[in-house]
């Protein structure tokens, strides 16, 4: 029997919040300072996901982390950019210390049995999901959407067990793609190494019949100056035609 899908609003299946839910801009400036060195908690940003979680994080102190308690993060949370690159999303990994949401993103956390974060992640990576995000985004120079508009979106969702089944299929597919990509990149590196090794052996060969010459003896070397423009000249050509030939257009 086919699992029944239903139409649900985002607000009915998950909690949606953001950085500015913690207070006014003045209060945020007063209570939150970004630290370049190690701090109590990592300020999670889209840039960190884009760079593969390789470090160079921004941090906040314990006091700032507690002030930002409305947008603290746990591994497995879904975060979506809502300014600059609306809809670009990622699942928060376990970075080994407390984490809190940075600005220009929304935290999306399923709060009950109606949905899973990973299902929503895959949904908003789909053409349908991206189209919905585009529909609530505004601006020309910098596209953005607000969390109120996002909460009002309605999406089609299957029962929880079907969501989990679909997520498993998509997780396996992504893992297979990642493996294939890694193998392809390694094959390219191996092929490049073989080619460079062969090229080196050819260019350093001292076989009979080879002679050593200066570069200027075998080719011309142009020095300095900017290339001159090439001017193409054309001349009119008279073409005779019979009286019943069509006229030129």
Residue 1 pLDDT grade (very low, low, confident, very high; cuts 50, 70, 90): low
Give pLDDT, residue 227. 64
Burial of 91: CB neighbours in 10 Å, binned 0-12, 13-18, 19+: middle
**What is the residue whose two structure tokens read 């030129």?**
248
Cα distance from N-terminal residue to C-terminal residue, the chain: 69
Is there a single domain that holds both residue 81 and residue 150? yes
Task: Map tokens 């949370």 to a residue.
Answer: 77
Domain check: are 21 and 68 in the same one? yes
pLDDT attached to residue 240: 45
**227 inside domain:** no
Same domain for 66 and 174, yes or no, is: no
Mean pLDDT of the chain: 86
What is the C-alpha to C-alpha distance for residues 192 and 198, in angstroms, rounded to an integer? Answer: 10
Q: Which of 62-71, 108-117, 224-233 comes out lowest in average pLDDT?
A: 224-233
Q: Rounded to two decimals, what is the model's pTM?
A: 0.72
60 and 154 fall within a common domain? yes
The CATH number that applies at residue 114 is 3.90.220.20
Q: Inter-axis angle of helices 117-125 and 160-203, to 10 degrees?
A: 60
Contact 101, 73 (CB under 8 A): yes
pLDDT at residue 237 is higher than 70: no
The pLDDT of residue 242 is above 50: no
- 146 with 34, same domain: the answer is yes
Domain span holding position 55: 6-158
231 pLDDT exceeds 70?
no
Q: pLDDT digit string (tens) for 189-203?
A: 888 888 888 777 777
What confidence category does residue 34 fall into, taking pLDDT thresholds of 50, 70 and 90?
A: very high
pLDDT of residue 180 exceeding 70, the answer is yes
What is the structure's pLDDT at 91? 96
Q: Are residues 97 and 179 in the same domain?
A: no
Based on the structure, what is the number of domains in the chain?
Answer: 2
221 occurs within a structural domain = no
**Pair 85, 168 in one domain:** no
Domain match, 26 and 149 both = yes
């Amino acid at each position: 029997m086919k699992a029944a899908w239903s139409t649900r609003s985002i607000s009915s299946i998950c909690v949606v919040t953001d950085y500015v839910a913690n207070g006014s801009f003045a209060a945020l400036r007063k209570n939150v300072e970004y630290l370049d060195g190690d701090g109590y908690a990592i300020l999670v940003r889209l840039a960190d996901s884009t760079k593969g979680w390789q470090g160079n994080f921004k941090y906040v102190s314990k006091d700032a982390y507690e002030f930002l308690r409305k947008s603290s993060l746990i591994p497995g949370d879904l975060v979506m950019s809502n300014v600059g690159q609306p809809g670009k999303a990622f699942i928060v990994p376990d970075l080994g210390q407390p984490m809190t949401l940075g600005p220009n993103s929304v935290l999306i956390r399923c709060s009950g049995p109606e949905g899973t974060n990973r299902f929503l992640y895959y949904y908003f990576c789909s053409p349908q999901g991206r189209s919905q995000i585009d529909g609530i985004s505004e601006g020309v120079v910098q596209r953005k959407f607000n969390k109120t508009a996002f909460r009002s979106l309605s999406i089609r969702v299957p029962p929880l067990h079907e969501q989990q089944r679909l997520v498993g299929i998509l997780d396996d597919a992504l893992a297979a793609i990642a493996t294939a990509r890694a193998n392809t990149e390694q094959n390219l590196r191996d092929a490049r190494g073989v080619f460079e090794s062969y090229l080196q052996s050819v260019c350093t060969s001292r076989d009979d019949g080879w002679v050593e010459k200066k570069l200027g003896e075998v080719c011309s070397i142009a020095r300095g100056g900017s290339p001159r423009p090439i001017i193409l000249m054309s001349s009119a050509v008279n073409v005779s035609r019979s009286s019943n030939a069509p006229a030129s257009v």
